[in-house]
Amino acid sequence: MKVYGSDAIRNVAFVGHGASGKTSLVDALAWVAGSSRRHGSIKDGTTLTDYSPDEIARQHSINLALGYAEWMDTKLNLIDTPGYLDYFGEVVTGLHAADAACVVVSGTGGVEVGTERAWEVLDQLHMPRMIFVSLMDKDHADFERVFNDIKTHLSPKVVPVEVPVGDGPDFHGIINLFSGHCHFYKKGAARGENEVVAIPDEYQARYQEYNEHLTEAVASTDDDLIERYLAGEEIPREQFIGAVKKAMLAGQIVPLFCGSSTLTYGLRTLLRKMVELFPAPSDLRPPVEAPLVGRVFKTMSESHVGDVTLFRLYTGEIRNGDEVWNAEHETPEKLNHLSIQQGKERIEVERLSAGDIGSVAKLKDTHTGDTFCRRDAPVRLPPIPIPEAEATSAVVVKQRGEEDKLAAGLHKLHEEDPTFHFEYSSELGQTLIHGMGERHFETILQRLERKFGVHAELARPRVAYRETIKGKAEGQGKHKKQSGGRGQYGDCWIRMSPRPRGAGYEFADEIVGGVIPNKYIPAVDRGVQESAERGVVAGYPMVDFRVECFDGSYHDVDSNEMSFKMAGILAFRNVAPKARPVLLEPLVEVTAWTPDEMLGDVMGDLSSRRGQILGTEQDGRLTKVRAIVPEAELYKYSTTLHSITHGRGTHREKFHGYAEAPPDVAAKVAAENQKEHAVAS
């Protein structure tokens, strides 16, 4: 494999909605360039970058994956990303490893939610991009409609640089506005071979319109060019291409291409333009100035190999077998079998230049997000901003004895996919997983079974209810036991009263005259606290109350700490039910983003979940809704929100506090708790 310098590398991420044709395009580009041995297909499960069993079965991308194409003495690193929002973390990760993006939009479906979300990240990163309208050979493909859709929903700065000849099954040619040539494609052409012909008469007016639009858009970004344009001068091609590249870097222009990955139409031009218009790593300033800087952006687990680490090199050069310094964990790592990825294949290379993307297997202590550098010049890059989890579910094993394997498997899956994380809640007695949605969770369960032999299923997470009291009450707790020999005797009187929400538990020693010796008072306190852990309404911990121990009695021989702890337990059980106990439910502050036209439906759904709407405000192209909602009502909320907003809505959750549950809710929770304990016993 040839070693490419920084000026002969292009790092391009392919982004867009699911089923827009990204994976097919990456596969076809590598094939047309001669860098891949076959032209695969989604249907047959043979594409270059969708090679995992779950991707082949589902026929859509789940993981970020890498390929490359060599064209015009340049190496194009092709970063294929998933399109469905459940895997959006892979999109963000891929874009942080890239220098430019090819946004793929379906010629039949137009702009969809995955395209919009990716576009927002591109705007945040100020990343140069071009758009490729794919599937132009499919029924109902319509270039004009899709172009107008792009201008409306993505940016008015998009400018067509190609015009298709024919739409749908009639698609057979492309007019290139840069060259002024028309390319007719031969039926059955394997690698995009075409014949250059004159522009058909019926397309002359369309060509003139688009060409005028392109020339004016490019000239308006440069003072010298606009003067020459207004004077009617011809602008040389090389200067024009250079102006387009400069305008793309400045975010002033987004060129629009078209073609078909299946037929390989338009792909030679796309390869050429990615080389000519996208920046090389040497054109860009690295994130930090240091002799050597690289960052791990993806970890994959492969059978028979172990962990495979994908990294982007920003500065310096590395050779096969070099030792680098992991700044996060302050440990050396040896880069044996330095490789580049062509789909699932790893091709060993002698060295990699600054700006290139490589892979290495079996590192000891390096994880996704880690920075490597030189030991004498340590550097730590800021973490990639992974999207926050939007959904939570409990997960349980189907077969007893697999609990340890479950935890180990989930840990490995988190290494591969940082948008997914898990925890064990000792209070709830459940393993909770957090991720991007139902589809995401289904993928995790399938991988647990396939990779680690763990058979698991999703379950509804339990809710961490609390209890408290609203009134005052007092009473006695007396523990007396005589069974031959030394007996047990503890006697206390307590008074309970409510405290403000969040104030916690307070115990006061109000004993006078030594009716209970001082050494036994802490035991009463421990007994009350132990009993309060199980509450009196539905068996949940009681909080925010005060207990005063104000009277009691003891026995010189039979009293001890255990007896007074039992007295405290009995006192709580006697008094708490008389102090107007209530159930508290956890509340969550929900922030949801929705298109304006679905705002009413989103607010109505939140209200139906007993939510209190706090307000709405415009936030970019979406409307932000804030509400306080009981946690128990939010199970599978992300799925519902996606359904209501056709995938355009997102949300965040933040714990807000506890509030008294309505009587009907409290009764239902108490009944469920009683039933659960009956089954357990």
Long-range own/partner contacts, residues 248-253 (CB < 8 A, 24 or more apart):
248/128, 248/129, 248/130, 248/277, 248/278, 249/128, 249/279, 249/283, 250/221, 251/126, 251/128, 251/157, 252/157, 252/221, 253/157, 253/159, 253/217, 253/218, 253/221
| Length in residues, the chain | 681
Q: What is the DSSP letter of 167?
A: -
Looking at the DSSP bridge assignments, the partners of residue 416 are none
Give residue 277's identity as a one-letter amino acid code. Answer: L
Q: What is the DSSP letter of 110?
A: B
93: helix, strand or coil: helix
- Reported as a single tens digit per residue, the pLDDT across 361-394 is 999 999 999 999 999 999 999 999 999 998 999 9
Residues 231 and 271 in one domain: yes
Give the CATH number for residue 301.
2.40.30.10
Give the CATH number for residue 505.
3.30.230.10
Q: Parallel, antiparallel, or unpaired for β 339-342 and 345-348?
A: antiparallel
Residues 545 and 559 in one domain: yes
The answer to the question of residue 131 being in a domain is yes
Query: Token pair for residue 496?
Result: 């309970």
- Reported as a single tens digit per residue, the pLDDT across 485-523 is 789 999 999 999 999 999 999 999 999 999 999 999 999
Query: Where among 536, 557, 579 does a domain terminate?
Result: 579
- Residues 641, 646, 649, 651: what is their CA dihedral angle, to the nearest 10 degrees? 30
Query: Where among 558, 579, 600 does a domain terminate?
Result: 579
Helix, strand, coil distribution of the chain in percent, nearest 5: 30, 30, 35
Residues 233 and 332 in one domain: no
State residue 621's pLDDT score.
Answer: 78
Structural domain containing residue 539? 467-579
534: helix, strand or coil: coil
- Reported as a single tens digit per residue, the pLDDT across 521-569 is 999 999 999 999 999 999 999 999 999 999 999 999 999 999 999 999 9
Q: Quote the pTM value.
A: 0.89
Helices assigned H by DSSP within 513-591: 521-532, 561-575
The answer to the question of residue 471 being in a domain is yes
The answer to the question of residue 676 being in a domain is no
State residue 681's pLDDT score.
Answer: 55
Q: What is the DSSP letter of 462?
A: P
Q: What are the start-end ranges of the E strands in 46-178?
A: 65-71, 74-80, 100-106, 129-134, 158-160, 162-165, 173-176
Residues 475 and 521 in one domain: yes
Query: Where among 312, 344, 373 does a domain terminate?
Result: 373
State residue 679's pLDDT score.
Answer: 65
Residues of the chain with pLDDT under 50: none
Whole-angstrom distance, CA of residue 458 vs CA of residue 442? 9
The answer to the question of residue 90 being in a domain is yes
Residues 23 and 112 in one domain: yes
What is the residue whose two structure tokens read 């078209």?
258
The answer to the question of residue 385 being in a domain is no
Handedness of CA 620, 623, 628, 630 (dihedral sign): negative
Total count of domains within the chain = 5
Residues 93 and 68 in one domain: yes
From first CA to last CA, the distance across the chain in angstroms is 67
State residue 243's pLDDT score.
Answer: 96
Residues 497 and 625 in one domain: no
Residues 312 and 434 in one domain: no
Query: Token pair for residue 125?
Result: 């990163």
Residues 528 and 401 in one domain: no
Residues 205 and 318 in one domain: no
Residues 75 and 109 in one domain: yes
Whole-angstrom distance, CA of residue 269 vs CA of residue 179? 11
State residue 680's pLDDT score.
Answer: 61
